[in-house]
Amino acid sequence: MTQRSVLIIYTGGTIGMLADPRTGALRPMDLAHLEEQVPELDRMNVRLGSESFETPIDSSDMRPADWVRIARIIGKHYEAYDGFVVLHGSDTMAYTASALSFLLQGLNKPVILTGSQLPIGTIRTDAKENLITAIEVAAACDEQGRVRVPEVAVYFEYSLYRGNRTVKVHAERFEAFRSPNYPRLAEAGVHLKYDGAATLPFRAGQLKVHDRMNDNVGVIRLFPGIRAEWVRHALSTPGLKAVVLTTFGSGNGPTDPVFISALREATERGITVVNATQCFGGRVEQGRYTTSQAFVELGVLSASDMTVEAAVTKLMFLLGQGLGAKELGAAFGTSLAGEITT
């Protein structure tokens, strides 16, 4: 079999950081620093290429334009490599993974995001294992030479997850990610065990790299006692096109008439409202309780079992396609890249 090839795209994050001698705070370093720390890369039977953000960033500084930048790099090198590894800060990795799953329409090759909780130069680092296994996954193919994971995934601490199903769940543990509503795509132990039934099927047609995200999207997290006038004020933000309400349990919220009329005014102005649960797992079922009945009447869209990260980036993506409210409503409820159970 011919040697497999993987392109590493370095965007920043803890994996490549060093302590600033002046303040002691961690800041991103260039790709050369990272490569120096992993001599094992030369021993892998994979042809590696690399691309890097000119100035690597902490993922808290990621913006939709950066997601498009990563998608374009993948599009530019799509034919030249068998797979892609995106090195990224863990803080907003779930958003980037979700956004890439929508931007890379028709993807049939692995795009594996990984990073680490400790910088690669530290003795107890989790970075080396994450990087080396992510490359293995990106290069992996079956006996017929077909890639194992033809989708955007996150590899972290022995688990491979569908990217748009992930949530960062811990600020310190090496096991920082989970996929509450979808099984793991692979588990790394002595062997790398893939769950072929969980991965997306191969898609027909060519890769299409989208390049527009509309960031006129907001998130309002409900809490008991939330003031209706505050909600009304937030919904009056100029330019706002869509909002994700993170609700209680299976999609419930206050029945306070002032709160409901604030939502009604927003929907009448054409703002799309989405209902996503604050719960870690499970799905929204609008109308199950009286406390979600008003959402049904207002035409609020259910995020079902999507993560908030997937819901926000999907809205940005669909608005970026210029969809009107009706088409957006229909597209939001369909699975574009396995982000929702339909």
Q: Could you tell me how many residues make up the chain?
A: 342
d(CA 107, CA 100): 10
Residues near ligand ASP (CB under 6 A), total: 11
Residue 9: Cβ within 10 Å count: 22
Which helix (H) or strand (E) covers residue 161, if one does?
strand 159-162
Least distance (Å) from ligand ASP to the CB of residue 300? 32
| Nearest residue (beta carbon) to ligand ASP | 89
Q: Looking only at residues 165 through 204 of this chain, which bind ligand ASP when binding is defined by CB under 6 A?
A: none
DSSP 213-257: ----EEEEE--TT--HHHHHHHHT-TT--EEEEEEBTTTB----H
Least distance (Å) from ligand ASP to the CB of residue 96? 10
d(CA 235, CA 31): 42
> Closest CB to ligand ASP among 12 and 251?
12
Q: Are 10 and 89 in contact (CB under 8 A)?
A: no
- 309: exposed, middle or buried (C-beta count within 10 Å: 0-12, 13-18, 19+)? buried
Least distance (Å) from ligand ASP to the CB of residue 72? 21
Least distance (Å) from ligand ASP to the CB of residue 95? 11
> Closest CB to ligand ASP among 82 and 157?
157
SS3 content of the chain, % helix, strand, coil (to 5): 30, 25, 45
Tokens (6 digits) for 116: 């680490």
Tokens (6 digits) for 85: 């590894």
> Closest CB to ligand ASP among 115 and 338?
115
Name which position in 117, 133, 179, 250 contacts ligand ASP (CB under 6 A): 117
Q: Looking only at residues 280 through 339 of this chain, which bind ligand ASP when binding is defined by CB under 6 A?
A: none
Q: Does 250 sit near ligand ASP (CB under 6 A)?
A: no
Q: Are 305 and 247 in contact (CB under 8 A)?
A: no
Active-site residue list: 14
Q: Looking only at residues 33 through 92 of this chain, which bind ligand ASP when binding is defined by CB under 6 A?
A: 58-60, 89-91
Name which position in 14, 125, 159, 286 contacts ligand ASP (CB under 6 A): 14
Least distance (Å) from ligand ASP to the CB of residue 170? 11
Q: Footprint of ligand ASP on this chain (CB under 6 A)?
A: 12-14, 58-60, 89-91, 115, 117
